[in-house]
Structure formats: structure tokens, C-alpha cells
A and B are shown apart, each in its own frame.
Chain A
Amino acid sequence: MTEPVSRRALLGTVAAGAGSLLLAGCDRVNRSPAARALLQSAEQAHLASQRLIGGQALAPEFTRADLSPDFRANGNHQANGNPDWVRHRDAGFAEWRLRVDGLVLRPLDLSLEALRGLPQRTQITRHDCVEGWSAIGQWTGPQLGAILQAATLLPAARYLVFHCADAFGPHPYYESIDLVDAFHPQTILAHSMNGGPLPIRHGAPLRLRVERQLGYKQAKYVMRIEARSTLAGLYGGKGGYWEDHKAYAWYAGI
């Protein structure tokens, strides 16, 4: 039985070799900038296809019976490294102001009272962490679109950048969305969660809710909203802390 055995052994060797080649090859391809660029171009397909079939569709909303009993906080649980935020927290955020600037006609400084004075939207939605877990919470706040209308975007504005008080080491957290998501009816700046004030660990005094994207887009401890024509030139240029540092997709609809 020499021949069949040698063939079988050969095939086994080929299979084992192919397996280790696959592993080593994938890691090598994973490091190649050209291959990464090709793989990452799928992000544009995700954005285009979801916008095409979804339009301005609303994210599913739930009832209070669906609320997570214990909503896991993700990212930073405080912004203690930011003296401004600490001072505002100690004063109950009474003197805190949300700065809206950049490519706007009228820069704004909005107190929590002013934000609560705007028409409010309350929504019970699901928060999906990029890691895979989900939690359902109730959020209340003004629509971002109303604030942007009050500030009046200049024609060159394409992106809204959310500058946050928290940081990972020396790198401040920030996130960004485009105008389609900025003017989506469910995109709100939440100052309340589950009927009470937004807890510190969930981003007090104010966090973004952009309900058709993953958790890392839901910027917490928002201090300033900046309208920009491009994301280039800001920090790593990819539009967010995780995008800059870990190659997470800027469009987090999947």
C-alpha cells in the first residue's frame, strides 16, 4: 500500500502546511497597508448600503418593561483627569456650558437649563457595544438637529465633532458623525437616563445618542460640539479616539 499511503501523507502534509500558512499569511496580510485599505473599503459599502435601504428609518424603540435592570457602563466611568469637568461636577454642573462652535453662524454656550428648555425627546433604545453586548436604556434630551438649527451650520460644514472631557491616558476622547446622522430624529443629547439625571458613569452631564450606530459613537462627557468640513487634521484624523488608536470603523452601523 505504498502509493496510497504516501499520497495520504502528502495530502496531510499539504493540509497542515496550508493551515500554518493560512495563519501566518493572514497575520502578514493583516499588517500590509494595501491589504488593510482594501479590507477597510468595506466600510464605505456598509455606509452606502445602509443609507440606501434604511434612509432615515428609526432605530427600534422599546418599552420600560424592556429596560436592562443594570445598564453596563462602557468606556471611561468618569473624567477625573479633566480639571474643568471635575470643577463642574463638584458644582452640580450648574455653571457647565455646552459649547457649539466651528463652522456655525452663531456659536452657542448652552447651560443644562437651556438644553432642558428645548423641545425634548424621550426614547427607549438598545445600546450595542462593539464587543457584542447590548443594554436597553431610556434617554431624554433635545434633538441635536434643533441645536444645530439654532447655531445655523455654514454651508461648508460636513461633520459634527464631539469633544469629551474624558481621556485615555494623554488622548482625549472624541467622536464624530455626519450630517445625515446629526439631523436624524433620534439623534439627541441626553441629560437624563431611565428618568433620572444622567449618571456620572454614563457620561454626565451630557452624552450623545446616535441610535443606529455602535456604543463607541455614543460620546460621553460632551463639552463641545464643533462643526467641521473635514476630519483630517484633528487628532489622528480618523474622526474618533477608537478610530485613531485601534482602527475601529468610523461608520459604526454594523
Chain B
Amino acid sequence: MAVTVKLPVQLRPAAGGAAEAKVQGATVGEALESLFAAHPELRERIADGDGSLRRFVNVYVGGEDIRYLEGTSTPIADGAELTILPAVAGG
């Protein structure tokens, strides 16, 4: 499955300046692994030592927070859009 990952400004320097990345995966977790394979520096930015997402990182599939879905196990369709954003905005 081809998936587009939209990267926030804070992560773009670690992805060669790109605002988005084309990756492969049938779940959010697989898509993120594919992203890390292409841009290894991104792994430590958004994932903890044990591989889970850092607590101030939000990931959305088609605009929905994956915490309301099945987390990193959330299935994604071909052509889906994944968005990574810092969690500290608003209020």
C-alpha cells in the first residue's frame, strides 16, 4: 500500500527538508517503519527507546487521531494520508 506521510516543520530537517514522504505499509506502524527506513533520523525524534510513539507526538489517519482508532495497528488503505503533528498546540 502506498501511503503519504505529511511531516511537520519540526521534522523536515531530519527528512532532507521534505514536507511529505511516500511510504509503504498496511498499518500505521508499518508505514512509520517504512518512513524510518527512508529517513533513519526520524526514528529517535518521534519514537521512544521501546519503539512506541513519544507522548507528545500525535499521528492522524485521514484527520482522525490514531488513539481513537487502533493506535499503530490501525489499518490504512492504499493512497491514505498520514499526518504527524506535535501534541502541544491549543488551549
Is chain B a partner of chain A in the same complex?
no
